[in-house]
Amino acid sequence: MSRKKSFLLLNYFKPSIYLESYKKINLDSLKNSGIKLIMCDMDNTLISWNERIPNTDIINFIKSVYEHNMEFVLFSNNIRSRVENFAKKAGIKNYFWDCKKPLLGKFKLVRKLMPYKENEIVLIGDQLITDVLVANRGHIKSILVSPLGRVSGEKKIVQFLENFILNRLAQKNILHEGFYNEGELGGNYEIL
Ligand SMILES: [Mg+2]
């Protein structure tokens, strides 16, 4: 594979914005950028993989999203019982489990059920190979956050790939782990 091509592929793992935590998300700024629908990963984004009960920070964040008149969709690869239990306790109205990110099947279903334009949707998540990749494949913007729990229930191969891509992104000066950048949500979007 040529250098140029591998560089372009890496861009599929590039988030629009990189933040330490969902708590740093500026909902006013998202709203001003025209975002109407927030799709959000669950494990290690809102709650660490070994916890079950949403804390008040999460509950307040969800409340604040609705107060900003934005839609919120929990978009998780985890199983129904865990996703449903979390969503109900966190006050989340719309949730999808077994999403198989980075595949586009459930993503397309959400797009069909909630017909917002591509530039009106953002996806928040902690993983490059599932969350950021599905967002870029689906032509929407993404916010990468640092995972809440580094030692996770993820399969080892997933963690290996994640670290591999993080290293490649750092080598290409695209993204450096822990160096957060609010980016420009309204700016040019290089993937599209
Ligand atoms: Mg996650």
- Distance, in Å, from the CA atom of 159 to the CA atom of 171, rounded to the nearest integer, reads 18
The tens place of each residue's pLDDT in the chain, 192 residues long, gives 556 666 678 999 999 999 999 999 999 999 999 999 999 999 999 999 889 999 999 999 999 999 999 999 999 999 999 999 999 999 999 999 999 999 999 999 999 999 999 999 999 999 999 999 999 999 999 999 999 976 555 678 888 899 999 999 999 988 999 888 765 555 444 443
Please count the helices (runs of H) and the strands (runs of E) in the chain: 7, 6
What spacing in Å lies between the alpha carbon of 42 and ligand 1's midpoint? Answer: 6
Query: Against a cut of 0.75, is the pTM above it?
Result: yes
User: Which position has the token pair 């107060």?
Assistant: 67
What spacing in Å lies between the alpha carbon of 23 and ligand 1's midpoint? Answer: 15
- Distance, in Å, from the CA atom of 87 to the CA atom of 104, rounded to the nearest integer, reads 22
User: Which residues lie near ion ligand 1 (Cβ < 5 Å)?
Assistant: 41, 43-45, 126
Structural domains of the chain in order of their starting residue, each with its CATH number: 6-171 (3.40.50.1000)
What spacing in Å lies between the alpha carbon of 165 and ligand 1's midpoint? Answer: 16
